[in-house]
Structure formats: structure tokens, C-alpha cells
Amino acid sequence: MTILTRPEGTLPQDLHLSRRGAAALFFAGYAVAALSAQAEPISTSAEGLIIETATLAPSDGFHLAAYVARPRARGRFPAILVNSEIFGVHDYIKDVCRRLAHLGYVAIAPAYFTRVGDPAPLSDFPAIMKIVQAASDPQVMGDVAAALAWLKAQPFVAADHIGVTGFCWGGGVTWLACETFPELRAGVVWYGKMVRPAGAADDPRRFWPAERAKDLHCPVLAFYGAKDPLSQGVETMREALAAAGKARMAQIIVYPDAGHGFHADYRASYNAADAADAWSRLKTFFAAHGLAPRAFTPTA
């Protein structure tokens, strides 16, 4: 029998290989519908890390898989919940988790869409959106609750030091999580749902309800691109936050030359300079709000 070697010793779930085999749920590659033929994606090594699949337990009884990357070292580390784009947990999201783990975080990316299917290998956007639309806000917040419960139960997580980040669809999830869970220390949003501008047609896939601004529990740093059509609601969002008395809790940065998905290095929209600047800001922001990464030396 193969048993995973951990710095903190063998845990009971290491004996359940069928659960660890859930890693097959994650697409081996980049999202087909958005992959650029000219892309040269960043590839972050797993050396010095533990990569595993967690099985989360939402209240609906579904066994939800989540990709986990964490330092291969003893002790407790702060944790970051990573919310994917509409393409689910594919190589880009997994790489982001490894980047965070190398900094000194436990990073976890739940596979929110797997109740219905995996959008990563699909090229047909209507088929992708059918899967995405099936993931309702109540379901996803239940999944986030399950991820937080899992993190708090782990001997390698500093349970009172948990943050969240997310991209595109996951940016909207990040806003909602920060409005739902008081235990989150901070959130970093990369594009995502905006407040509906005046005159725009309603679309539940895209717009963030302005009335939720009053519920914001923790500081949020949000990045948008001026050339992204989905970012037209930035000023409306700022107004909603100000009206709710939450303006000081949210910093929204708009990059003049960036489009949608500017951090996604596998897409044609990738903007290396703005992506690097935003990533640097993410690190500073998390550290300033109780989520400083913990330096580590990997165990043998």
C-alpha cells in the first residue's frame, strides 16, 4: 500500500486511496476554450511542496474535491482559498495554488462545478456556461463553508488566518465570500461580477447585487482592466460601497491597458506587467491584513 508521507505524520485520510484518486477530477492541461496558441504559461514547480486532493463535505452530502498545495514543512501556515474562473480547476489555477504555497501558504481550490461536469476540456461556450450556471450562489457558498471547515480542522493550518482570492467568475465568488464569512481576514478579487450599471440588462451570471455591499466583513483588494467590457460597473460598485459605509474596506484598482483575464498567462489577454504588479500588491495586501506568509525550509 502506498502511503503519503507528511511532515506532521500519516493522517487517517492517507489510507483512503480512493479519495486521493479524486485528483483525476482535475483537468490535466489548460482550459481548452481560452488557451492561446502563442501562450507561454508560467510553470511553478511542486518541489518543496505537498500536493494533494482534499475531499470536502458540503451540507448537501456531495463529496467535493479540492486541489491543495502547501509547504512540505512542520507547523501551521496561513491559508488562501482560491476560486477558479468559469473553466474550473485546470493547470492555471493549480499553478496559482503552487505559487501561493511557495510563499508560505496552504492554498486550496475547490472544484465547484463537478456536480454537473468539468468545463476545462470543453471548447463550446454554451456547454461551459450550462455547467457554470448550475452552480448557484447558495451551493457555492455552501462549498466555501465546507472548504473553510476543512482548513480549520487541519493540523498544518493557522485556523484564524484564512484569506480568499479568485479570478473572473471566482472574483464574484470572492466578493460574495467576503460578504458571507466573518472569519475571512482579507480577499483579493481579479475581475469578476460587477454591480449592474444603470440601464444595463439584468444578468445573474454577471452582476453583483449592490445591496450586499453593506455585508462586507473584511478588507478587499480588487483588480480590473479598463479594456475589459465586464468592468463597466466599477464606478457603480464604488458608489454602492460608499453608500453602505464600506468604502474604506475596499480598494479597487483599474489598469488602463489591461483587458479581461490579464493575469491568466495561458490566455491571449495576458498582460505580464500588470499581472506582476497586481501579484505584488496581493502579497503586500495579505501581509498587511493578518495573512503574512510563513517562511519555511522544506523537510526531507
Catalytic residue among 143, 228, 265, 274: 228
* Burial (CB count <10 Å: 0-12, 13-18, 19+), residue 42: middle
Cell numbers placing 10? 500519516
274 labelled catalytic: no
Question: What secondary structure letter does DSSP report for 295?
Answer: P
Cell numbers placing 113? 462545478
**d(Cα 128, Cα 86) in Å, to the nearest integer?**
8
Catalytic residue among 90, 161, 260, 289: 260
> What ranges make up the beta strands (E) of the chain?
49-56, 64-71, 77-83, 106-110, 157-167, 187-190, 220-225, 250-255
Strand partners, 79: 106, 162
Phi, psi of 99, deg, nearest 5: -60, -45
C-alpha radius of gyration, the chain, whole number: 18
**d(Cα 239, Cα 246) in Å, to the nearest integer?**
10
Q: Which of 164, 159, 157 is nearest to 141 (CA)?
A: 164
Cell 480547476 found at: 89
Can you spell out the DSSP letters for 189-250? EES--BPPPTTPPP-TTTBPPGGGGGG--S-EEEEEETT-GGGTTHHHHHHHHHHTT-GGGE
**d(Cα 218, Cα 236) in Å, to the nearest integer?**
20
260 labelled catalytic: yes
Asked if 87 and 170 touch (Cβ cutoff 8 Å), the reply is no
Catalytic residue among 168, 178, 263, 289: 168
Active site amino acids: 168, 228, 260
